[in-house]
Structure 1
């Protein structure tokens, strides 16, 4: 394998569905052009493209990427639920790492409907049916939407087993909304008080509305290149190396008789992917300076602290109690972008927005949300049924 680098990133703003001017090809043109400009390369130098989206017709990826150029390169459409963007990144990085191309492009986009996620096809098996069935054996179904039910029940399990409290989850949402104030790409840029977080409408205990990620429209793009390409292009000063990356899917523990709500929503596949990525990178969890983590719900951020190794299982709320995961804390700064809760969650773009944020952080280009001394970064992107993609990045210079 050759060394691989992020050399260009680009985003659109993330917006409430129906509020963003234009359509998904326009958004990919904006984000992709920004990423290519950031890399200092022309689209004609890209050897393959991977286009991620969840909601759309089968060749929407080609239609979007054609806004950047018509060079005949392979364009692969990618759908891996909420981990779609990072899966496109994973495939682009593999193409470069194994010498198939010297330069690859990952784009992700989404045009979503307002409201909670719902199954799109009701005449066939729901892909999440095994998760829903196993969760129903533990918790009788409630009227709330299925996603907050799944992740809310994981939070309940943590409270029952380890003593965390609703206030711990509310603090995570408070932190992420506070971080988002300094992110011009974020859907929400409002700082809320803890009281406002906890007083917002209850969706599924312990999750209130301000602890849930919104549906969003937007796009992101990342240019990946080999070491030889970086040397030829002379962009070493902008390059951020991917030193570890791994994807895991559901394990037996997600569904068997020992499965608890935390395992059902991906705890073990996150743990496996993190261990593999960190091992590749030659790092331990305590080496991470900054992290973009899949906080689709505040409960998932807390249990993912443990799955990533930032805390032992059962101790994630202790990081909250000492405010370890924000600026000035003794842990990695988690979700300086505002995370999914505040930045927004256009499914196909989310993983690429995480990559963009960490690239800016490691370059020292994050402005008022810059994490001092950021040298090693970790990205976690989760999609139920099922993928967890964990990527470790390092500053080159």
Structure 2
């Protein structure tokens, strides 16, 4: 047996189906925001963070390079590089600069790549400085800055050829500064990007702005084997653990060679807050959907279901009772249907009245015919009787 569903419930089902569209749209949107894949907003945010970190590192590299250039283009340094006066260099450069600037390592060589003076260089560079490629590049006129990994740790270095004031040659040597990278030197960058900076070096040393608890350090190191191959193909690797987002990118030295991994750890507070807001929006949509249904159902019942019920009730009439007119004022197609129905009722009433009149006329004519027939029959009978009487008289 087929189940009949009233129009009212059909309308309710239809409304719910319409309202399911924003419902499923919200579910899809929230799914896009989960850890199954970073949204475009999150990717842009990550790129902005990395761009900010790179920009700040470049800023510090350029500041160190500017400091080197200020000294390497000083006439007194140029002249004393020619005279190879270690005492003058020790007094005015290798002793004075570290005491007044954030410099941890200084090398000064002459134009023939001979050591003039040095301050606290890593052991491998104090003996073999003249074999390093960047010293050779500086003697060729190049100046640059960047990272350098040594046995003493990770340094930010800058080198420049020794020239006269105004950059006038010929080149008379090389001046190089080095700054040891430590957590304190990274605090400004940490405060700007709102996350921890971690340099993971080949010897498993971790230079971090975090307190470097064993758990935190191990959490970083244990991810290196998994991302090592991927970092060779991708510039950025992301991972989520707990409420932390890890961003891994290759750490390149001053010659653009990989010397480790730069890892940024960012709290997912912002992401979590965004997702909470999305969940609130999601439930708000559901709540509003039910409210809209509750508000819409009475409206549709009043404007559609009730008028249709009146029409259906009016159409269910017996042969001896004509349908009554319906009063529907909805201003839409239902009102037009009701008007057509009322016109049909008027026509039916008019037709019935005409039929009644015709029936009355027909009854009158039938009555007259019956009277006429009766008179005719009576006359015929009388004629027959008269003929019979005449016949009897003739006899």
Q: Which has the higher contact order (CA 8 A, sep 6+)?
A: 1
Q: Which has the higher helix share?
A: 2
Larger Rg: 2
TM-score of the pair, normalised by structure 2: 0.22
